Chains A and B, each alone.
Chain A
Amino acid sequence: MADITTGKPQPAPQRKGLSDRQKDIIQKFAALGSLVILAAVFAVTSNAFLTVNNGMTIALQVTSIALLGIGATYVIITGGIDLSVGSVLALAGVVAALAVKELGMPVWIGMLLGILTGSACGVINGLVITKLKLPPFIATLGMMLIARGVALQITGARAVSGLGESFGVLGNGSLLRFESIDDQGFPVVSFPGIPYPVVLMIVIAVVASFVLNRTVLGRHIYATGSNGDAAKLSGVNVPRVTAFTYIVSGTLAGLTGCVLMSRLVTAQPNEGVAYELDAIASAVIGGTSLIGGVGTISGTFIGAFVIGILRNGLNMNGVSAFTQQIIIGLVILGTVWIDQIRNRK
């Protein structure tokens, strides 16, 4: 088998302009660059912006978008969409709260139950899409209504409060918080610590990125989105891979629900409305293609921070919530447009 050459030295196909890899890097830096510019602008316009405390506040605010965004990235790479995460996180949060309050379960078991509720919703989404063969948009739209309905039903549309201090640890606690007692006996915070949700977000992002880039499963996720038929004919279990991404998305929604409710120490069945759109937006701003086959966790991470910093910085500058929506909408249009130009040949 050594000699299967055509005998003719064909020139390697020349590339037109930049290679895709170079374009990828430019895209990354473009997003990262705009992030830095945003931060710089806000740092100038507001004194309180560039402080450790505000940095932690932003990171905390970004966690829910980023966690949901990671799930959205998985799903969108396969060419799907998950509209149900906002409702699923509410359902997961109230399940966790009710388990603790009504059934008297320990907090960690209650939270685990909440997260598993999210996974279960993901399993159902996955089965409806791969077995009943409904389009992902419809399947998850159905789940969006059902999960929200169930959350409102089991709580009687009332917030679940009085959960006890331990319920708030996950959302409000910090790692490496340094305090000292001053002369008067008051505590002084020398370093506010890294909030647990932020730690969670970073760990999960690293794991999710590793799975996507370095494992067989990750490769199969890209292949499914890039060309499902070719993947199937190459022996990839396309339905199982597809369902897996919805389970990831649902589980992360469950986790996000627990974190959010823990932060408020109250479970709100109306929490998380329209969060799925933030999640999708962060993935899209980060370069994930809605056609499938393309997307990275690092991109989504940047996308989540763009949204988070915009919200935070605009707030600090006293821009109204309505105007914020307009600006974020324009940012989404702008970044996707730039992405399109980049990909146009």
Chain B
Amino acid sequence: MGGVSLAHSEREPAPLLLKLEGVSKEFPGVKALQNVSLELRAGEVHAVCGENGAGKSTLMKIISGVYQRDAGEMVYKGQTVHFTSTLQSEAAGIAIIHQELNLVPHLSVAENIYLAREPRRGFMVDRRKLRQDAKRCLDRLGVDIDPDAQVRTLSVAQRQMVEIAKALSLDASVLIMDEPTSSLTEQEAQLLFRVIRDLKREGTGIIYISHRLDEMAEIVDRVTVLRDGRYISTDDFHTITVDQIVARMVGRSLEEKFPTPTRWPTEEVIFSVSGLTRSGIFSDISFDLRRGEILGFAGLMGAGRTEVARAIFGADPFDSGTITLEGHQLSIRDPRSAIEAGIAYLSEDRKAEGLALKMPVDANLTLANMEAVANPFGVIDQELHRQSSQHYVDLLNIRTPSLSQPVRLLSGGNQQKIIIGKWLFRQPKIMFFDEPTRGIDVGAKLAIYRVMDELAAKGIGIVLISSELPEILGLSDRVAVFHEGRITATLTTRDASQEDIMLYASGRGRQRH
């Protein structure tokens, strides 16, 4: 397609690419969308904001033909359209970058980008052209990824870039980006924004969905807010503040993004790691965790933060170093011994490593502490099991129709609360929160921040691993900055700025502890 290049002057608005009006969609028992409207002009980046469950994904699936609308109009390039599959919408020039990565791990990057659209020579795939075309897509993104590399060898961020390259290769006139930056670092996000600006100039219309409202200012022209499946508003981005957007998303004003701390950090060191090394992954990691504080781990993707946490938790091995909890040196062989010592770890990948998705709410809440609800013979006390689960459902305000609801049917925020509840039931001494708010809506984020603050106030040592610097700065008392497997600085958050942290995270700052 690509040829919809439209020289659009500042005076007259660019032509409409896509217009949805009064779109409704109902699933059995749920009105997913009610009377939603959206318009997209050529060369525009149009953000769609809303909490989880607001209907953003459903709307995108209607545009791309995964779902069919029950009512309403959809006009694309002046014609009413009814797509019944993504093949049709792609052929018409609408491409979507999925939030969940849809790549084939055992094929190469180039093969993934042109999957089912391979350039051919007779019956054979034209491998040279395939490689060249893929290289061109990747170069356009400005990322250094080998087109011949197998996708399974790439990091999550690199895979996201491949996914984006794949969408670019379609030369679409409408590009839908669903949380494209959720697994990207600041720098990688900047690369993406540069490409987005190029695409805008070429007249591509972009629908942009993200939970990171702060970054939108760089690229977004207009923003439409959805709430509970209803259309709320559309505004020029520069006429509205982030706080106003958030208020519309949650349907109330949100005075604060972070809770006022109730904790009082002390000088008492409860947990300390010294000289922790795993060759080739991280080396000489040393830090102290004090009672009542939240310690942030900042750094770029792949700097070794998660790897260090997993090693301390016994999920991955390490070569040398000591781990001391409340004065006792620990010997951790596997997650079980770490858990018994009083360490909890909330994995960065909720679905793959945190939850047994097919199992019900109560079974997930008690999974790490079954002994507490069973007699010495291992027979579960049903009543105690129910009470214990209910206690954490109430405590954390987990929204579920019942204790026997499979957790896969709950929202991301509630799923995360279940994992937190699972660990609280163990009464841990220290907890690692690895990207605890990834893909979680604003309201639920605040709830999770409050939990972390209250846990710290109760004397539990908290480590927060996050790629979102505002989160690190807003929540932690001190921050350890990682660069290529080392801690390059440990800063007091009060005195640190985002720029300071970036300096050390990129390895440019001088070592400071």
Contacts and interface: CB of A to CB of B under 8 A. Distances in A.
A8 B443 CA distance: 8
A293 B407 CA distance: 13
B355 A227 contact: yes
A190 interface: no
A227 B443 CA distance: 28
B13 interface: no
A229 B352 contact: yes
A256 B368 CA distance: 36
Given A222-B359, A229-B352, A233-B345, A10 B370 contact: no
A235 B401 contact: no
Given A226-B356, A229-B353, A17 B451 contact: no
Nearest to A10: B399
Interface stretch (A35-43, A213-221, A324-332): A213-221
Interface stretch (B22-30, B102-110, B165-173): B22-30
Contact of B397 (A6, A19, A20): A6
A222 B363 contact: yes
B261 interface: no
B129 interface: no
B367 A8 contact: no
Interface in B437-496: 443-444, 446-447, 450-451, 454, 458
A217 B400 contact: no
Interface in A281-322: 293-294
A51 interface: no
B429 to A, nearest CB: 15
Contacts of A223: 356, 359, 363, 367
Interface residues on A, range: 35 or more
B327 interface: no
B368 A234 contact: yes
A16 B399 CA distance: 16
A230 interface: yes
Among B30, B251, B339, B358, max chain A CB count under 10 A is at B358
A230 B378 contact: no
B380 interface: yes
B446 A6 contact: yes
Given A1-B458, A4-B451, A220-B370, A293 B395 contact: no
Contacts of A222: 356, 359, 363
Interface in A213-253: 214-217, 219-220, 222-223, 226-227, 229-237
B399 A13 contact: yes
A17 B29 contact: yes
Interface string A1-23: 11111111011111111011100
Given A13-B410, A233-B313, A233-B347, A6 B370 contact: no
A207 to B, nearest CB: 12
Contact of B378 (A10, A19, A216, A235): A216
Nearest to B338: A235
A215 B400 CA distance: 24
A206 to B, nearest CB: 14
A342 to B, nearest CB: 14
A227 B357 contact: yes
B252 interface: yes
Contacts of B405: 19-20
A102 to B, nearest CB: 40
Given A12-B399, A235-B336, A235-B339, A230 B353 contact: yes
Interface residues of B, number: 60
A236 B367 contact: yes
B243 interface: no
A227 B335 contact: no
A219 B373 CA distance: 12
Contacts of B335: 232-235
Contact of A233 (B315, B400, B446): B315
A229 B357 CA distance: 12
B401 A219 contact: no
A248 to B, nearest CB: 15
A34 B366 CA distance: 37
B312 to A, nearest CB: 13
A215 B374 contact: yes
Contacts of B363: 219, 222-223
A293 B358 contact: yes
Contact of B354 (A8, A214, A220, A233): A233
Interface in A189-222: 214-217, 219-220, 222
Nearest to B395: A1
Given A13-B411, A16-B28, A231 B397 contact: no
B457 to A, nearest CB: 9
Interface in B363-417: 363, 366-368, 370-371, 374, 377-380, 382, 395-397, 399-401, 404-406, 409-411, 414
B367 A234 contact: yes
Contacts of A215: 374, 377-380
Contacts of A14: 29-30
Contacts of A232: 315, 334-335
Contacts of A226: 356-359
B469 to A, nearest CB: 23
A219 B380 contact: yes
Interface in B312-345: 313, 315, 334-336, 339-340, 345
Interface centre among B405, B414, B422 (most CB of A within 10 A): B405
Given A231-B356, A231-B367, A15 B315 contact: no
A237 B409 CA distance: 27
A8 B356 contact: no
A214 B396 contact: no
B93 interface: no
Contacts of B53: 13
A8 B251 contact: yes
Given A229-B353, A232-B315, A4 B29 contact: no
Nearest to B371: A216
A237 to B, nearest CB: 7
B35 to A, nearest CB: 18
Contacts of B443: 6-8, 10
Interface of A: 1-8, 10-17, 19-21, 214-217, 219-220, 222-223, 226-227, 229-237, 293-294
21 contacts: A2-B395, A3-B450, A4-B396, A8-B250, A13-B53, A13-B400, A14-B30, A16-B27, A16-B28, A19-B401, A20-B405, A20-B409, A214-B379, A214-B382, A215-B378, A216-B380, A226-B356, A230-B356, A232-B315, A235-B335, A237-B336
Given A223-B359, A230-B356, A293-B356, 8 more contacts: A5-B397, A6-B443, A12-B400, A13-B401, A16-B29, A216-B370, A220-B370, A233-B347
Closest 10 CB pairs of A and B: A226-B356, A216-B370, A234-B368, A17-B28, A235-B339, A6-B443, A216-B378, A235-B336, A293-B358, A14-B30
